[in-house]
Structure 1
Amino acid sequence: MVAYKALRALANTEMALFAQDEGLRYLWIFNGEGSWLELAANGKRDEDFLAPEKAQQCTELKRKVLATGEPDRFELQIMCGEVTRWFDIRLDADRDESGAIIGIIGASLEITEQKQREATLKTLLRELSHRSKNLLAIIQSLASQTARHSITVPEFLVRFRGRIQSLASSQDIVTDTDWRGAGLADLITLQVERYAPDGMRQVLVSGPDVYLSPTAALHVGLALHELAVNAASYGALTAQIGIVEIQTKFTEQEGQRCLSLTWHEKNGPHVDQDRNTRFGTSTLERIVPNSVSGSAELSYRHDGLHYHLMIPDTQFHMMQDKVAATQV
């Protein structure tokens, strides 16, 4: 009665039980429907219903158990149409009353979902490792460039902390979207607002919004940080009537669709170009455009600093529901 109830309980699980004789012919199969044993039947061997290489795998391990009398365990991978399924199979020797080995008894449990989770986890860990290395490379470059263009340790610390904070803020957006990227409008507000004395009142944002790739989000965020710090220290954001215009539009460059991002300052004090030939310039003119496979131009016009960045469409995709021409 206990054995009968136990079998009834097993019938509601993904576990199958089986027994084979010394010739590895199946004697009985319990709950094999829907598993790799579905086509098995009493009197059949593994080679009668499994692919040759899978049948050989099963047969070799079962013969080992018959020879040694020791339990064994293996995983069986089979294709069901276009779906890969995995089964955890445990084997033991079947013995008669005298202890002589007379066959095999076994249990099979489907572990396909577990394998899929493991594969997904491995993919995520590889992706995390890749992105972490990229992030560390960016930080290393930040440290090196900041040190190269800093005169004193306090100056280095202020500049480096600001850039790391900028990077961390952009990374927060990327992480919140499961590493898919970041909306450009969100990135602008995040990086610029903290340096604008009156919030975003002096910052006018117009043009289409796009969704930047993770790499582009980090580097464009860094460019916006450098521009905002410069504007708040020397440029338009230091004057009450100063204005920063940030415009985006779609264009083509060498036959490739691009997003044109323009930062234009107006009504600010005259900026001496020599004051800015430091790391900010390197970031804006070389590091950022190279990182997004684009191009950039930085100029000092009579009405304020002007920056133009071209981002190829490999680094962004459209946000159909976000086309704005507003003052943020």
Structure 2
Amino acid sequence: MHETETAYRVASGKLQMALEIGKLSAWDRNLETNVMVGTATFKASLGLPSDAELTYDRLENMFHPADLERVRQAISFGLRTRTPFNIDHRIIRPDGRIIRVQVQGGAVFEGDKPIRILGVVQDITEREKIKEEIHLAQKRQEFLLQLNDQLRSLADPDAIMEATAQSLGRFLKVDCAGYGEVDDTRGIILVEREWSKGVIGNEGRAYRLYDFLPTMMAELRQGRPIYVEDIRNDPRADKPEVQAAYSTINARSALAVPLLKDEKLTAILYMHSAEPRVWSTDDLALAEDVAERTWTAVEKARAEIGLRETDARFRLIAESLPALVWILNPRTELIYTNERWVTYSGLSPEEALGHSWMTAIHPDDMARMQEELVPVVTQHTPYTTEARYRSHEGVYRWHLIQGAPIHTPSGEFKGWVGTSVDIHDLKVTQDALRKSEEQLRLALQSAKMGDWIYDSATQLINLSDRAAEILGLPGGASITGEQLQSRVHPADLTRTSHVKQNAKAARIPYNVQYRIRRFNDDALVWIASQGNTSHAQDGTLVTSGIVQDINESKQVEERQQLLIRELHHRVKNTLATVQAIVGSTARTASSIDEFYQGFVGRIVSLARTHNLLTEDLWQKAALEDLIQTELGPYADEARNRIVFDGPHVELPSEAAVPIGMAIHELTTNAAKHGALSTFGGQVEVRWRVEPGEERPILHFAWTEHGGPRVSAPTRQGFGSRLLQRVLATQLQADVSMDFPEEGLRFTMTLPIPGAPPLFNPDQ
């Protein structure tokens, strides 16, 4: 007996250990009393205290109503067939918690009557929860894979939004789902497709997000999803207008997931139901995943649509352009060309690709281009050049080649796209035009001409470099008509304006000469201007012409006229002077020889003065040259016989002739009777120029000393009359002659004819 009890205790211990390890509880139901007993963990697993009385009826009341009938059928079947039963079901514990248990048991019979049911129960709540989570995870993964396949097959962004809303709404068993893009400035979400109970709204909608929750936009901008489990009990929706907004869309619960790109709210995936709902973290995670996939698919579809549209436009433009259009890969191989290259080269579309373009370029141009392309290919830079392409007829024609590098948005270099425009006719025309322009430039340059054109739009006269130079402006300058008119000499302005206006009214060219002050140095110069006004194709007036520097020719012309007038005047004056010399010399000469010597000397002096004037085309003679001409032969540097000092003075011809003859008379008198007639005599000639009221004043002094003693002459000769009368009469000179014993002193003060006034610092 003792051994039997010991064996029972050992068996009971092993059973208890096995039950604990397997998290099992044993139970025993008396079929006559319906009382149930069990191990210590049995009642605890049911949420009952250990001392609670438990009958089977009470236990049945804890079964989940949906499982009760199924449990009864399993037990009844086991009793009827005398087989064990195995069933799992849910139990609602007194604390309201629902657990899932697995029950295994069997009946004990006495004869044919079951008296007891023994069994074990195991709490499988966590296991089933894990299984359910795994199942849901698998379902979500399958859903996402199917959604990916579905989105991958769609090319329309609206269709992608539609598929997303429909699939997610059905999977999460909500009443409505949608994907919308946010217009943050207006606070609205634009929805192209919205799913509702299997019905797709094909017309776009716009929701004001502020209508649904006051803080909705702020939270979404921060990337936080919006949960509403029951809008009627949500403290954030206590305002009537918010409740009305949800009532309008028949929603009690809602979930909105924001999508931020570059920290900016871009889109929202939302869903709502007509009944309250607790949104799980799995629901949120799935919605966030779907929102990201939807945005990626929509943006990809839009990019592909844009790419297709761009490619279609590119091909349309490429085929319509009057140029060879091409794309090169990084190895400079043609991967695309328009039909024009196929036609031009005579190659098939397949042969026209690759490096066919290199063999079509003129060898001389290709040799140059190979050097130019080295940095272009290595540095992926733009390229522009001109080269000759050989046509299928074997004729080379010039083309302007322009290529630009292609990079992907990520910066990857993909090659070049470019055009080759036929400029052969333009090149030929340019060469001819260049030669013509060069000939015109040389012709204008030799003729001292420049061209101009009047732009009616800007109202500017555009000058060529040569025309600008003539007017004293920098090359390529432009001026207004008012600026040009302001530089015209007042005496020529009226005549010039009339000529131009009359020519414009009659629509004929004009040609006018006038004086103008240059812009750079204010010098007064003569120019000749020619112009013509015509109508352009658009009806606007076009005026162009040339301007010529004629200042030098005008000066020559004026000088010729002056010389002619001067010649007439000088001939008359010279004849009168010669007549006076003959008469005066004859009256003072005591012999034929004396008459001859005096007459010849005076004629020679007159000739020398005239020589000085004719060297300057009868314009002026320098005072120092007149003195040097007469006194030069008597100079002796060792004895310092001749001394003259004074500033440079230019004398006009009307003053140079009488002053030159006066110096001749003084020199002749000094050589015959005065300081130059003896060994130690000396002549000093000094002059200065001072400002006058109208013209500069010349102060001239002739002083002799070291010669024979001097006394006043007893009679007045030609020289005295010349010095005192001619100079005073013709030049308004103040003349004085003194005869001290040491030598003659002659002074002369006169205004210089034709000279401009000098600046007087004392005035």
TM range (shorter): 0.5 to 0.7
Q: Does 1:86 align with 2:529?
A: yes
User: Aligned to 2:501, which of 48, 52, 76?
Assistant: 52
Query: Counterparts in 2 of 1:303-322, with a 5 A limit?
Result: 303-314=742-753
1:123 Cα shift? 0.5
| Aligned residue identity for 1:76 | N
Contact 1:298–1:307 (Cα < 8 Å) also in 2: yes
Distance 1:257 1:124 in 2: 25
Per the TM alignment, residue 135 of structure 1 is displaced from its structure 2 partner at its CA by 2.8
- How far is the alpha carbon of 1:296 from its aligned partner? 0.6
Bigger Cα displacement from structure 2, 253-262 vs 235-244: 253-262
Which structure 2 residues correspond to residues 157-306 of structure 1 after superposition, within 5 A? 157-176=596-615, 181-194=620-633, 196=634, 198=636, 201-206=640-645, 208-215=646-653, 216-249=655-688, 258-270=697-709, 273-274=712-713, 277-306=716-745
Normalising to structure 2: TM-score of the pair? 0.29
Cα gap change, 1:118/1:209 in structure 2, threshold over 3 Å: closer, same or farther? closer
Aligned to 1:12, the other structure's residue is in SS state: helix
Q: Partners in 1 of 2:714 and 2:624 — Cα distance?
A: 29
- The DSSP-based 3-state class of the residue aligned with 1:307 is strand
Query: Alignment partner of 1:245: what SS?
Result: strand
5+ residue gaps, structure 1: 16-32, 41-49, 60-73, 90-107, 319-328
Aligned to 2:438: 12
Output the CA distance in 2 between the equivalents of 1:135 and 1:205. 29
Between the aligned partners of 1:168 and 1:88, the Cα distance in structure 2 is 51
CA shift, 1:279, in A, is 1.4
Deviations 1:27-62 (A, max 9, x none): xxxxxx934x6559xxxxxxxxx9431225654xxx
AA aligned to 2:571 is: L
Q: CA deviation at 1:290?
A: 3.1
Q: Identity of counterpart residues, as a percentage?
A: 21
Instruction: For 2:507 and 2:592, locate their aligned partners in 1 and report how far apart those are by CA, in whole Å.
Output: 68
1:209 aligns to what SS in structure 2? coil
Q: Distance in 1 between matches of 2:531 and 2:596?
A: 56
3-state SS of 1:264 partner:
strand
Are the structure 2 counterparts of residues 79 and 131 from structure 1 closer, same or farther at C-alpha, using a change threshold of 3 Å?
Answer: closer
Aligned in 2, Cα 1:85/1:193: closer, same or farther, shift over 3 Å? closer
Letter in 1 for 2:436: L
User: What's the CA shift for 1:252?
Assistant: 8.1
Counterparts of 1:265 and 1:79, CA distance in 2: 55
Q: Go from structure 1 to structure 2 and tell me whether the alpha carbon gap of 1:226 and 1:181 turns closer, same or farther (over 3 Å shift).
A: same
Higher strand share: 1
The answer as to whether partners of 1:210 and 1:316 remain within 8 angstroms in 2 is no
Call closer, same or farther: CA 1:81–1:281 in 2, change over 3 Å.
Answer: closer
- Which amino acid is 1:112 matched to? Q
* Structure of higher RCO (CA pairs closer than 8 Å, 6+ residues apart): 1
Give me the whole-angstrom Cα distance separating, in 2, the residues matched to 1:78 and 1:316: 28
User: What is the CA deviation profile of residues 235-256 of structure 1, one whole-angstrom value per residue up to 9, with x for unaligned ones?
Assistant: 1211112222223245688998
Contact preservation (8 Å) 1:211, 1:316: no
SS of alignment partner, residue 302 of structure 1: coil
Per-residue CA distance 1:251-271 (angstroms, 9 max, x = gap) = 688998633211122232345
Unaligned segments of structure 2, at least 5 residues: 1-424, 442-449, 457-498, 518-525, 533-543, 758-763
Does structure 1 conserve the Cα–Cα contact (< 8 Å) formed by 2:578 and 2:603?
no
Q: Deviations over 1:74-118 (max 9, x none)?
A: 8622789878433499xxxxxxxxxxxxxxxxxx995724x4444
Give CA-to-partner distance per residue, 1:193-221, whole Å, 9 cap, x none: 23x27578322334x32313223333322
CA distance in 2, matches of 1:306, 1:272: 12
Query: Quick one: distance in 2 between partners of 1:297 and 1:288?
Result: 11
Match of 1:150 in 2: 585
1:112 aligns with 2:548: yes
CA 1:172–1:121 in structure 2 vs 1: closer, same or farther (change >3 Å)?
Answer: same
Preserved CA contact (<8 Å) 1:247 1:262: yes
Structure 1 residues 249 and 177, CA, compared in 2 at 3 Å: closer, same or farther?
A: same
Shift in Å at residue 309 of structure 1? 0.6
CA distance in 2, matches of 1:81, 1:231: 53
| Structure 1 residues 5-29: Cα deviation after superposition (integer angstroms, max 9, x where no partner) | 76654333449xxxxxxxxxxxxxx
Contact 2:644–2:686 (CA under 8 A) maintained in structure 1: yes
Residue type of the partner of 1:220?
I
Distance 1:125 1:255 in 2: 28
Provide the rounded CA distance (Å) in 1 between the counterparts of 2:581 and 2:665.
12
| Worse overlay, 283-292 or 171-180 | 171-180
3-state SS, counterpart of residue 268 of structure 1: coil
**C-alpha distance 254-124 of structure 1, shift in aligned 2 (>3 A):** closer
Distance across 2 between alignment mates of 1:223 and 1:170: 11
Aligned pair in 2 of structure 1 residues 235, 8: CA closer, same or farther (>3 Å)? same
User: Structure 2 vs 1, CA of residues 139 and 234 (structure 1 numbering), >3 Å: closer, same or farther?
Assistant: same
Pick aligned residue for 1:34 from 442, 451, 454: 451
**Contact 1:237–1:244 (8 Å) recurs in 2:** yes
Letter in structure 2 aligned against 1:310: T
The residue identity in structure 1 corresponding to 2:606 is: L
2: distance between equivalents of 1:255 and 1:129?
A: 28
Contact 2:531/2:546 (CA < 8 Å) preserved in 1? yes
In the superposition, relative to structure 1, how do residues 54 and 315 fare at CA in structure 2: closer, same or farther (>3 Å)? closer
CA distance in 1, matches of 2:578, 2:439: 57
Alpha carbons of structure 1 residues 297 and 80: separation in structure 2 relative to 1, 3 Å: closer
